[in-house]
Amino acid sequence: MKRTLNILLLLACATILYAQEINCNVTINSDQIQGSNKSVFNTLQQSITDFMNNTKWTNLSVQEFERIECNMSIIVQSVESDIFTCQMTIQARRPVFNTSYNTIILNYQDRNFNFKYQEFDRLDYQESNITSNLAAMLAYYAYLIIGIDMDSYIKLGGTISFQQCENIVSAAQTASLEGGESTGWKAFDSNKNRYAVIHNYTDEAFRAFREYFYEYHRYGLDEMQANVVNGRARIATGLGVLKEANRARPATYMVGMFLDAKSDELINIFSKGTADEKKNVLTILSDVDPTRLDKYEEALNGD
């Protein structure tokens, strides 16, 4: 509860204090790259770690224990003329009040995490003048994580951070990027790329979804320690918003992102629910997430 009270107080008082918001564990897998000199990958890993964790991203006051925990795993697929072609998976989590449990709030894979890099390059991020695609992508994900985390504590609390992501996307689309660096920033190139993800979060059609994301965490998970029945009921009551979001924008990935983070958690929550809760939740999940239907049916069918 202390973290939420701190955030609410800061927003109300507009107090500007400085501390880092993110605690990111970065790993780089270069097994696909031939050669014995791996120093560039070690340097790169340290540079990304320092950039993510030592940058002050917002004006919020954050104590050490309040930093957002996340993992970033980068798989290097090729390196040609200083252009790194990679895939990146990022996962962020936040604590549930009065428990030792951490809930996943983001579990996303970027299949076009491509950038130009030479060992000891300085990662310099300027919102309006992108000179490093790597720095721009890292800044994008830092703001995305902060925005999603804030949305889980305060209704629509991540809006400012999502707008920062949108600004980065706009700047990247007009920047002089090399090789495959521009992939992932392009409008309508994919319904799962960086452009598409942040377009969903800033789309008014998904306002109800974002409001449910807040209710899921604050009135669902955070209340379950005190009253598990009420917390579970709050999560179940609002789950239909996933179907509404799918109808509003059938080709979007926002619901898929939510379920990539929450599918196992939903199973754990409702496997202990009532027969009616299981039936209703299974109906919704089978509609919005058919690829995991077998898993849902195995866990939620029956009494």
DSSP state of 73: E
Question: What phi-psi label fits residue 81: left (phi over 0), alpha (psi between -120 and 50 degrees) or beta?
Answer: left
> What letters, b where the CB count within 10 A reaches 16 and e where it falls short, cover 104-120?
bbbbbebebbbbbbeee
Phi, psi dihedrals of residue 260, rounded to the nearest 5° = -60, -35
Q: Residue 147 class from Cβ within 10 Å (0-12 exposed, 13-18 middle, 19+ buried)?
A: buried
Q: How confident is the model at residue 303 (pLDDT cuts 50, 70, 90)?
A: low
Residues in the chain: 303
Least confident interval from 36-40, 102-106, 238-242? 36-40
Specify the 3-state DSSP secondary structure of 275: helix
Query: Is the alpha carbon torsion for 163, 168, 173, 179 positive or negative?
Result: negative
For residue 128, the model assigns a pLDDT of 77
Cα Rg of the chain, angstroms: 20
pLDDT at residue 5 is higher than 70: no
196: closest CA among 121, 281, 254, 119? 254
> What letters, b where the CB count within 10 A reaches 16 and e where it falls short, cover 5-25?
ebbeebeeeeeeeeebbbbbe
Query: Is the alpha carbon torsion for 283, 286, 289, 293 positive or negative?
Result: positive
pLDDT tens for residues 101-125?
A: 999 999 999 999 999 999 999 998 8
d(CA 44, CA 53): 14
Specify the 3-state DSSP secondary structure of 258: helix
d(CA 211, CA 156): 6
Tokens of 237: 């009551």
What is the CB neighbour count within 10 angstroms for residue 40?
21
For residue 129, the model assigns a pLDDT of 84
Mean residue pLDDT across the chain: 91
For residue 302, the model assigns a pLDDT of 64
Q: How confident is the model at residue 290 (pLDDT cuts 50, 70, 90)?
A: very high
For residue 18, the model assigns a pLDDT of 46
Q: How confident is the model at residue 195 (pLDDT cuts 50, 70, 90)?
A: very high
Q: How confident is the model at residue 294 (pLDDT cuts 50, 70, 90)?
A: very high
pLDDT at residue 179 is higher than 70: yes
DSSP state of 290: G
d(CA 151, CA 145): 10
Kindly give the pairing relationship between strand 83-95 and strand 22-29.
unpaired
Q: How confident is the model at residue 233 (pLDDT cuts 50, 70, 90)?
A: very high
For residue 3, the model assigns a pLDDT of 57
197: closest CA among 115, 110, 264? 110
Q: How confident is the model at residue 16 (pLDDT cuts 50, 70, 90)?
A: very low
For residue 9, the model assigns a pLDDT of 45
Q: How confident is the model at residue 172 (pLDDT cuts 50, 70, 90)?
A: very high
Q: Can you tell me which residue has the tokens 């939740």? A: 281
Least confident interval from 199-203, 252-256, 298-302? 298-302
Least confident interval from 25-34, 89-98, 119-128, 278-287? 119-128
For residue 4, the model assigns a pLDDT of 52
pLDDT tens for residues 145-168?
A: 999 999 999 999 999 999 999 999
For residue 7, the model assigns a pLDDT of 53
For residue 188, the model assigns a pLDDT of 82
